[in-house]
Amino acid sequence: MSGQFCENLSRLEEKLGYKFRDPKWLETALKHKSALEGRDGECNDKLEWLGDAVVGLFIADYLFYNYDKPRSWLSLMKSKWASEECLARVARRIDLGSFVKLGKGEEKSGGREKDSIISSTLEAVVGAVFVDSGSYEATKKVLEKIFLKEESLEFLFLPLNYKGLLQRWCLQKMECIPKYEVIQEDKAFPRYLVGVKINGKIVAYGEGPNKKKAEQAAARQAWEALVAENHRPH
């Protein structure tokens, strides 16, 4: 590794509050698949897969011990907090995008700012800490440091872009994009009532002082209802 790259790894280790025994784990975690440029070699895909499970455990652990709520609510919150958008927000807090190794194409297209890339890199880094330390407790300390700078996870994850969450969910689960329709409009008040349609059917409504906020409110109602239904025991 070059001296500059080693220096960058040290800066990231400071942000994580963890010193790697084998820095190669961290180096691999930061290598996006585009950096291979079609060649054989290691990238962070496998570590991302592991880190996804560890992050999920951390969030479930936090929710279980901090909230006396039913399973459906816990599942809903876990899905929200482990979402691409939320993890990207955590990644930006430690400026993770500046450490990622990308291919030329991704570099030119602004890959360092993409939620998908920095959220998956965060999961890969968590996976690397888990493998390097061999301990969930050691990894948990890192996660607490980067997730819990505020009083609790709620402060980190509010407000959320529910329109973005709903669109990703619809694309993944139903292969469609939600549409928004103004149902009522009172410009004197002002107050808007918006309905959100999925496959042509209105599934939720939202109100707000402008269309943007009303759409976010409708998206939140729809997303929470759909995800809760998806997690309901059969």
Does 123 carry a binding-site annotation?
yes
- DSSP secondary structure code for residue 198 in this structure: E
Q: Which of 27, 52, 84, 115 is catalytic?
A: 52
Q: Which of 27, 106, 123, 215 is catalytic?
A: 123
**52 among known catalytic residues:** yes
What stretch of H or E contains 72? helix 71-81
Does 144 carry a binding-site annotation?
no
Does 48 carry a binding-site annotation?
yes
The pairs formed by 115-118 with CB atoms below 8 angstroms and a separation of 24 or more are: 115/84, 115/85, 115/88, 116/84, 116/88, 117/32, 118/87, 118/88, 118/91, 118/92
CA atoms within 13 A on the CB side of 230: 17
Residue found under tokens 């997690």: 231
**123 among known catalytic residues:** yes
Distance of alpha carbon 23 from alpha carbon 132, whole angstroms: 9
Residue ranges of the annotated binding site for Mg(2+) are 48, 120, 123
Q: Which residue numbers are catalytic?
A: 52, 123
